[in-house]
Amino acid sequence: MNTNQREHIALITGASQGIGLALARKLLSQNWQVITLNRSDFPADDMLIQNALKNGWLRAYKVKDLTDYGSLRHSLKEIKSKEQRIDILFNNAGGGLSELRYSKQGREMHYELLTVVPYIILMELKELLKNGSLKTVINTSSQVLRFTKEFSIENLEHPTTFRKMYGPYATSKLALSLWTQAVAPQLAKEGIKIRSVDPGINNTLRKGKDSGLTAWFELFMKVFSSPPTHGANLLFEGALGKHRNETGVFLLKDRVADLKFTEHVQRVLDRISDIYSREFLDGSVLHG
């Protein structure tokens, strides 16, 4: 495996399709090494990806279900045992649902996947980030968070109502950007910068797969939205562009944007930090 010419290493979650795949391809084409954590396999006909896998420039780790802590724990342990460092962590895995669903831990699924799991991944891979040179975390957020009308921890975990896109999905993305802001000062003490980034509207629709989008927006996306390379470029710029020295900020169209409900930042961070220590870390003791 010749990785000598590839100085920087990025880890991307959710990189087997859509924006994550486009980002992996972009980084590989710019001489990065890429580590991925995916549920599904890469496209077999993507020669750039398959060649990178063969050469060891791309190292793929599998997870059965990111929201199942046993499965996630096993995959992260494997990454920590085999990798020495990470320069940039792209917490990108996501997705929308068309109905209310709950995780194995009993919390609303969007919240578990989009808000809690990225924090767990960051905490578990923090030592690898500290070993890297760029020490940067990019959380994939969404401009849909601007449509959140009310916000509470209780409603995040157990919503009383459900709306596609504008319900749990939007509030979970807002909560992600809120804890990103809240955790920034403590990460800064360890030399790590963190930002949340909106990748814009990209056509990531897949045939036969529930998008979790409203019908009118799905139609809009098919006709007017950008290809996933657009989102990949925004995440790349969010990591390495003009805001590379800022931390805790939310980037919308490559500009720093205000967040709503910032009075809740510390409560959101405290809650997910508690979930991490009480359920993920203590769970590893209980389940070996």
Please check whether residue 2 lies inside any domain of the structure. no
Residues in Cβ contact with 83 at an 8 Å cutoff, skipping those fewer than 6 apart: 9, 11, 35, 59, 128
Please check whether residue 111 lies inside any domain of the structure. yes
Please check whether residue 3 lies inside any domain of the structure. no
Q: Please report, for the domain that includes residue 25, its CATH number.
A: 3.40.50.720
| Residue found by looking up tokens 């791309």 in the block | 58
Domain containing 144 equals 9-286
Please check whether residue 34 lies inside any domain of the structure. yes
pLDDT value, residue 222: 62
pLDDT per residue rounded down to tens, the chain (288 residues): 445 578 999 999 999 999 999 999 999 999 999 999 999 999 999 999 999 999 999 999 999 999 999 999 999 999 999 999 999 999 999 888 888 999 999 999 999 999 999 999 999 999 999 999 999 999 999 999 998 999 999 999 999 999 887 889 999 999 999 999 999 999 999 999 999 999 987 555 455 555 565 665 566 556 556 678 999 999 999 999 999 999 999 999 999 999 999 999 999 999 999 999 999 998 764 444
pLDDT value, residue 199: 94
pLDDT value, residue 81: 98
Helices and strands of the chain, counted as H and E runs: 11, 8
pLDDT value, residue 204: 54
pLDDT value, residue 217: 56
Taking Cα atoms as reference points, which of 23, 13, 11, 17 lies closest to residue 235?
A: 23
In 93-149 the beta strands, taken as DSSP E runs, fall at 136-140
Please check whether residue 273 lies inside any domain of the structure. yes
Residue 43 has φ and ψ, to the nearest 5°, of -60, 130
Please check whether residue 4 lies inside any domain of the structure. no
Structurally, the chain folds into a number of domains equal to 1
d(CA 132, CA 86): 5
Residues in Cβ contact with 197 at an 8 Å cutoff, skipping those fewer than 6 apart: 138, 139, 140, 141, 234, 235, 238, 239, 250, 251
